A and B are shown apart, each in its own frame.
Chain A
């Protein structure tokens, strides 16, 4: 069980959260111009790093806000928590 620090409510257990997949996947500026292959790439292709990964979480059992987390996929260590819409912080 991970302890996830919600930017509003503080550290809470993982069961209170919903996972939202990879963060910073932006909607295509001109979706109609995309080829089928590009559209499939936007819809279905996600990074799968071994190490720090920026992902979205929703604190569904409490404040119901979305936020971004950088989590190390090997150790589950949470390296940064920042509001949705903000650029990804640089992790040394």
Chain B
């Protein structure tokens, strides 16, 4: 029997060239790229219980306590980001390939407390948006106030971007992460590329 090799392919691997073209065409005003295969763990527990304390201690990042918040640390390639999804629900985002290890660490830290740690890394892919017009580009498809005073670093929201359900996370230096379901990713990239046309540099 022929040996089978299964290759993991990110939902937007086919679009990398088209996204790079956006940066070229806009003269760097908008930079869009996929960050494939980021670790994503869905964490559900009582925010006031001992499990919350144990989980935050193991992650080294406090769990954001209210809507619209995201916490990160430590900066670098091991950076973890925790996004508030609901009153008892968080999304832990980490570097690619660490999902099993991170889930095991969280589960053993939480022990027998009432909690759930679920690996949802394959559910969504991540787009990184930056550049001076990235905010304007997102604002053209999103009803939320994205002004830097309201939605800066450490802000997060689950909302609709061009009718697609996304998680927006505000990053350093006015950059954004947009987490979108794998099946919506191609559509969202088509929309982003089309919406970025107005920032093209005319020669």
List residues of chain A with CB under 8 Å of any chain B CB: 8-10, 12-13, 15-16, 61-65
Contacts and interface: CB of A to CB of B under 8 A. Distances in A.
21 contacts: A8-B67, A8-B87, A9-B68, A9-B157, A9-B158, A10-B67, A10-B68, A12-B143, A12-B144, A13-B160, A15-B160, A16-B159, A16-B160, A61-B160, A62-B159, A63-B67, A63-B86, A63-B87, A63-B89, A63-B158, A65-B87
Nearest to B158: A62
B67 A61 contact: no
B163 to A, nearest CB: 8
| A contacts with B: majority SS | loop
Interface of B: 67-68, 85-87, 89, 143-144, 157-160, 163, 165
Contacts of B157: 9, 62
B68 to A, nearest CB: 7
Contact of B159 (A61, A64, A65): A61
| B contacts with A: majority SS | strand
Given A8-B87, A16-B160, A64-B86, 7 more contacts: A9-B67, A12-B143, A12-B159, A13-B160, A61-B160, A62-B159, A65-B87
A63 B160 CA distance: 12
A57 to B, nearest CB: 15
A62 to B, nearest CB: 4
A8 B159 CA distance: 13
Contacts of B68: 9-10
Contacts of B159: 12, 16, 61-62
Given A8-B67, A9-B67, A12-B143, A61 B158 contact: yes
